[in-house]
């Protein structure tokens, strides 16, 4: 029985009335459970089911449909876990706002991690659609990586000084098409270092 409510005394008339009815009707019912059953009950620990990790989509060959399917199922399971984390963080923040009378500054410590979790969730899973999302999520991560290497953090704008209007780098390297998987092995080049990005997706070039 969770008794953390004792740490928070009633602040207004409705809370005092609720506490009075709780002591009158609820406490007599739960008293034997708290004092006798819970104290004499053998503790039992519950654990979440732990799934064995499988290779991710960047470790699968294009023709290995089983590996790609397992990677997709694993990613969807991780997606559901991240969703539940956001739900818990949002519920904590809403409970704080309700208790504090919607004074946002008093709940700032709970709002910051919620906003960070929502931002990271959208960065990874946002606008990927339905179906087999593992490949789409991986390509989205690759596109973001290529963008940040060329232009800096997303949202700061494009640094056009490194490129010509035809899409080629000023130092002579071909900019390439980031959406083409077969160009990962040689076309996507960084204008500053001329480093091929295929090290981030070694198996997709086969």
Q: Using one digit for the tens of pLDDT, what is the confidence trace for 135-180?
A: 999 999 898 888 888 878 877 777 765 555 555 565 554 444 444 3
Q: Distance between CA atoms of 68 and 51, rounded to whole angstroms?
A: 17
**DSSP state, 132?**
S
The secondary structure of 16-46, three-state, reads: HHHHHHHHHHHHHHHHHHHHHHHHHCCCCCC
Q: Structure pTM?
A: 0.59
Nearest one of 154, 152, 149, 157 to 191, comparing CA atoms: 149
Q: What is the pLDDT of residue 154?
A: 78
**With contact defined as beta carbons under 8 Å apart, do 134 and 72 qualify?**
yes
**With contact defined as beta carbons under 8 Å apart, do 72 and 130 qualify?**
no
Beta bridge partners of 180: none
Task: Specify the higher pLDDT residue, 42 or 61.
Answer: 61
Q: Using one digit for the tens of pLDDT, what is the confidence trace for 115-130?
A: 999 999 998 998 888 8
């Amino acid at each position: 029985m969770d008794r953390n409510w004792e740490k928070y005394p009633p602040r207004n008339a409705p809370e005092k009335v609720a506490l009075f009815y709780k002591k009158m009707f609820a406490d007599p019912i739960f008293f034997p459970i708290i004092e006798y059953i819970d104290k004499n009950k053998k503790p039992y620990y519950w654990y979440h089911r732990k799934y064995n990790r499988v290779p991710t989509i960047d470790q699968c060959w294009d023709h290995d449909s089983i590996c790609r399917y397992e990677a997709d199922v694993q990613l969807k399971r991780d997606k559901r876990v991240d969703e539940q984390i956001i739900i818990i963080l949002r519920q904590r923040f809403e409970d704080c706002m309700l208790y504090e009378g919607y004074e946002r500054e008093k709940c700032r410590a709970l709002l910051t991690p919620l906003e960070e979790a929502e931002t990271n969730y959208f960065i990874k899973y946002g606008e990927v659609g339905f179906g087999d999302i593992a490949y789409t999520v991986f390509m989205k991560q690759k596109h973001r990586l290529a963008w940040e290497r060329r232009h800096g953090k997303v949202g700061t704008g494009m640094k056009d000084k490194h490129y010509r209007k035809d899409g080629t780098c000023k130092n002579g390297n071909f900019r390439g098409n980031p959406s083409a998987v077969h160009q990962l092995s040689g076309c996507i080049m960084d204008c500053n270092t001329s480093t091929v990005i295929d090290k981030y997706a070694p198996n997709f070039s086969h």
